Structure 1
Amino acid sequence: MNSIHAQSSLAPVYRKALSTWRPVILYFGSQHCPACEMAGPIFRRIAEAYRHFAHIYMLDIGESPRHPCVTGSPTVLFYKEGKLLKKLKGIGTEATLARDFALHIGKVKPPAVKRKQIHDLTWLRQTLRQLCTVPRAISRLSRGTWR
């Protein structure tokens, strides 16, 4: 399917969401679907780690505009640069969904641990010894004892 034709057949809401450089993940579910009730928490748990690296939307089929690629629920669509990369009918297992996230978004590094700031005390002592006040500097200049 050509991405130009796919973009033109989408509702304006989806076209606006897909016009970003970040990966976009659309999850379509329904409140009255037993499979969606099981898949929703699993999707949220996995998507939480990727929320800073992609735009992730959970949409209700009954309330959102119709998407041409969605024929059932739950459905997950992975987009990158406005092109549909993968369509999942159902989410499969938690491990396969996590693998799909990692494949299409990239692996997420754990947050960096802040290190305790280390001061260079020898440099600080040496610098403070060389500093002097203005009156002391004037007297040292007049005596010629400036080093």
Structure 2
Amino acid sequence: MSSTTRVSDLPDTYRKALKTWRPVILYFANEHCPACEWAGPVFREIAEPYRLRANIYMLNTSQSPRHPLVTGTPTVLFYKDGRLVKKLKGIGSEETLEADFARHIGRTKAPVVVQKPRHDLPWLRRTLSRLCTITRAHRRVI
């Protein structure tokens, strides 16, 4: 991240959004900005294939808390592991934005989670050995 801005200096909403293993993309726009009217649909179209591999947020600057790195709109901030890796003032062309998404998100995979075994074989064997069929149960009663 920038040397002047630390994660601890950000508002709570941004700090919570950045606490993830997935890449985070923050897109800042304003409804009164002519460039944002053109850039919004382009950003959505390019971001759609990456929505399962990254957390992508489209934020309205008049409704969201102020981010210290956003001085104008549209602005795109790419974060990875809670650190700023790229800042775009404007989105550039479709090709350059697509290249930035591919470069910063790439082939992100979820961390491997060790799962406990689904079947407890000793418990199953004990349960099956104690199980009585109807005919065996009837013999025991008599």
Query: Scaled by the length of structure 2, what TM-score is found?
Result: 0.73
1-structure distance, mates of 2:96, 2:36: 17
Q: How do residues 1-147 of structure 1 correspond to structure 2 at under 5 angstroms?
A: 1-2=2-3, 5-106=5-106
What are structure 2's unaligned runs of at least 5 residues? 109-142
Q: Report the 3-state secondary structure (helix = DSSP H, G, I; strand = E; otherwise coil) of the residue aligned with 2:72.
A: coil
Task: State the 1:31 CA deviation.
Answer: 0.3
What are structure 1's unaligned runs of at least 5 residues? 109-147
Letter of the aligned partner of 2:14 in structure 1?
Answer: Y
Task: State the 1:8 CA deviation.
Answer: 1.2
2-structure distance, mates of 1:45, 1:84: 23
Letter of the aligned partner of 1:64 in structure 2?
Answer: S
CA, structure 1 residues 107+20, in 2 after alignment: closer, same or farther (shift >3 Å)?
closer
1-structure distance, mates of 2:33, 2:107: 31
Aligned to 1:135: none
2-structure distance, mates of 1:69, 1:81: 18
Query: Scaled by the length of structure 1, what TM-score is found?
Result: 0.70
Task: State the 1:107 CA deviation.
Answer: 5.3
Q: Which has the larger radius of gyration?
A: 1
Q: Once superposed, which parts of structure 1, at least 4 consecutive aligned residues long, lie more than 4 Å away?
A: none
CA deviation profile, 1:114-143 (whole Å, cap 9, x unmatched): xxxxxxxxxxxxxxxxxxxxxxxxxxxxxx
Q: Report the 3-state secondary structure (helix = DSSP H, G, I; strand = E; otherwise coil) of the residue aligned with 1:8.
A: helix
2-structure distance, mates of 1:28, 1:10: 15
2-structure distance, mates of 1:22, 1:107: 11
CA deviation profile, 1:24-60 (whole Å, cap 9, x unmatched): 0000000000000000000000000000000000000
Q: Identity percentage over the alignment?
A: 65
Task: State the 1:82 CA deviation.
Answer: 0.2
